[in-house]
Copies of this chain bind each other. A is one copy, B any other.
Amino acid sequence: MTRVLLVDDQDLVRQGLRLILDLAGIDVVGEARDGAQAVVAVADLDPDVVLMDLRMPGMDGVEATRLITGSGARARVLALTTFDVDEHVVGVLRAGAVGYLLKDVTADDLVAAVRRAAAGEPVVAPAVLARMMANFADRPPANAAVLPGLGDLSEREREVLALIGAGRSNAEIADTLVISMATVKTHVRHIFAKLDLRDRAQAVVAARDAGLS
Residues of A whose CB lies within 8 Å of any CB of B are 9-10, 55, 69, 76-77, 82-87, 89-90, 93-96, 98, 112, 116, 120-124, 126, 129-133, 135-139, 141-144, 146, 158-159, 162-169, 176-178, 198-205, 208, 211-213
Contacts and interface: CB of A to CB of B under 8 A. Distances in A.
Contact of A143 (B69, B169, B212): B69
Contact of A137 (B76, B90, B137, B198): B90
Per assembly, the copies of the chain total 2
A141 B205 CA distance: 20
A87 B204 CA distance: 19
Contacts of A158: 85
Contacts of A89: 136-137
Contacts of A201: 164, 167-169, 200-201, 203-204
Chain A residues touching B, majority SS:
helix
B162 A90 contact: no
A50 to B, nearest CB: 11
Given A85-B162, A201-B201, A93 B143 contact: no
Can you list the 9 inter-chain pairs with the closest CB atoms, starting with the nearest? A167-B202, A120-B146, A93-B137, A69-B143, A96-B142, A204-B204, A96-B143, A121-B126, A132-B132
A166 B122 contact: no
